[in-house]
Chains A and B, each alone.
Chain A
């Protein structure tokens, strides 16, 4: 099976940071893809398919993280998640 790992840099743009609601949105998006999708902050990785895991990052507004997607639909998954971050999880005024 051929799978390619895709890495993208994402920045938390919404003022309230990656709290429960954005984390929920992230999990829902991640679960639409087969790929393994991780977020890495300061060497700590969180699984984008687990809200509990994402909340352990405590990622505040302005935090820069690496998004790593690996699997058949990695490219697509990464693109959708990058968009969520860019749109500030629809919390930007």
Chain B
């Protein structure tokens, strides 16, 4: 699975303004709402579900990366967005580090395989030092969009 299969380009956010976990999730879910991927009346429910998942254990998986996510019937297919925080956000990460890179995913309840393949793609790309560093240095949504496109074309492999 490629980034282009699940990342909504219009929802990409560089320079996130939020400085805590709840607000950063709110900001990212808002980005999907503004992009038309979810409806306004589902927003609160989606945020609550993502926060509930975080209570089971932080999705801050280390290296300054978090993958907040939930299943929700409001989406017909896996949708996601990317956000970058310049300062980093305290996300109770597994390694204790602040999180700069966020990949927020919402998947239909009956498609666990797609979620798994999205995680596989994100983790494979983020293991590459170059991709990870460039993403953290991105300051515009266009920078991020280009990086994802290059990653999809395997520009950072090896």
Chain A interface residues toward B at CB < 8 A: 15-21, 24, 27, 50-53, 55-61
Chain B interface residues toward A at CB < 8 A: 56-57, 59, 61-63, 65, 67, 69, 94, 112-113, 115-117, 119-120, 122-124, 126-127
A53 contact set on B, CB distance < 8 A: 123, 127
Q: Say how far B69's CB is from chain A's closest CB, in angstroms.
A: 8
CA–CA, A53 and B113, complex, Å: 18
Q: Say how far B28's CB is from chain A's closest CB, in angstroms.
A: 16
Whether B112 and A19, one on each chain, are in contact in the complex, defined by CB atoms closer than 8 angstroms, is: yes
Beyond A19-B116, A53-B123, A60-B112, 17 additional pairs, beta carbon < 8 A: A17-B112, A17-B116, A19-B119, A20-B67, A21-B57, A24-B57, A50-B62, A52-B62, A52-B123, A52-B127, A56-B124, A56-B127, A58-B116, A58-B117, A58-B119, A60-B113, A61-B112
Whether B126 and A52, one on each chain, are in contact in the complex, defined by CB atoms closer than 8 angstroms, is: yes
Q: Which of B56, B59, B65, B115 is A52 in contact with, Cβ under 8 Å?
A: B65
B112 contact set on A, CB distance < 8 A: 15-17, 19, 60-61
* Contact (A56, B120) CB under 8 Å given A19-B112, A20-B67, A51-B62: yes
* Contact (A24, B127) CB under 8 Å given A16-B116, A58-B117, A58-B119: no
